[in-house]
A and B are shown apart, each in its own frame.
Chain A
Amino acid sequence: MSEEITLMRAPTRLAYTVWAGEVTDTFLRALQDRRIVGRRCPGCQAVFVPPRGSCPTCAEAPGAEVEVAQVGTVTAFSVIRIPFEGQVLDPPYACAHVQLDGADTPLLHIIGQVDVDDVQVGMRVEAVWAEVIEPTLASIRYFKPVGTQ
């Protein structure tokens, strides 16, 4: 007699092919040159980083490309302490909203080179580029506290 079966794997899986589109395309191409760019809304003048296809407030299509600083401020963060399937980094690590100087919206990224318990809102951080630069956000390895060696 075989053992009773009490569990069943029931994964939900959707495999997409995503086309970056014109706006994200310019953002990704700039990363290849180690530049971070956003787009300015012609209505409210807000600079979106990463850029998006329309302004959620004005519904305007994005205007001019704007290069922003590689230094910014942590506006929110969360420390991930539990493992989960498909996780890329080893916990604990800090995920944060980083609002780069010159941008009006935060970029979601990882905070590195600092103990997760020392991450704070208001902390000034700067981009650390990966060794291999590709047109993906992973080209920025993480953000580290300004001045950290």
Chain B
Amino acid sequence: MAKERFVAPFVLEYSYKRSLGPVLSRFMTGLQACRIEGSRTVDGRVLVPPSEYDPETGEDTGELVEVGPKGTVQAWTWVAEPRPDHPLQQPFAMALILLDGADTALTHAVDALESDMTTGLRVKPRWRAERVGHIRDIEAFEPAS
């Protein structure tokens, strides 16, 4: 006799809160005010998102400087079937975006047609109306006219 198979949802979740530290704290606070900041290294490069230290030399970074808001797509991959936790629920590009004034790229979503996606595409952030101080205060980047 065919029996019904027992199937159940099982969610494993660790509801962590992390402290941001002085640099990311400043970065997130800036996002809430629609400002994107990077940290300047000893040799003058600007890391975005900012880091407390230069990953290449291990030295402390210095002042935070505002970058963007426009930037250039350096690389991208098309997400045809977004999952529930993705930033957008319609197909989008996940991209490395080099913001103007930055030397490292930020990973974020680009809300554009697949046919418009190309490396070198100029993009600008689309800010949420309700911002909480989180990278998702930028809902996505979109092509800049």
Q: Which residues of A contact B (CB under 8 A)?
A: 2-20, 24-25, 28-29, 85-86, 135-136
Contacts and interface: CB of A to CB of B under 8 A. Distances in A.
Contacts of B10: 15-18
A6 B17 contact: no
Contacts of B7: 17-20
A18 B8 contact: yes
Task: Give me the 9 closest cross-chain CB pairs, A-B, nearest first.
Answer: A5-B133, A20-B6, A5-B28, A13-B13, A16-B10, A14-B12, A18-B10, A12-B14, A5-B29
* A contacts with B: majority SS: mixed
Interface of B: 3, 5-20, 24-26, 28-29, 32-33, 85, 132-134
A10 B10 CA distance: 20
A29 B4 CA distance: 11
B9 A17 contact: yes
Contacts of B85: 13
Contacts of B132: 5
B134 A4 contact: no
B11 A7 contact: no
A16 B28 contact: no
Contacts of A14: 11-13
A8 B18 contact: yes
Contacts of A11: 13-16
24 contacts: A2-B29, A3-B29, A5-B25, A5-B134, A6-B19, A6-B20, A6-B25, A7-B17, A7-B18, A7-B19, A8-B24, A11-B13, A11-B15, A12-B13, A14-B12, A17-B7, A19-B5, A19-B6, A19-B7, A20-B5, A20-B7, A85-B15, A86-B13, A135-B6
A12 B17 CA distance: 10
Nearest to A16: B10
B20 to A, nearest CB: 6
A62 to B, nearest CB: 17
B6 A10 contact: no
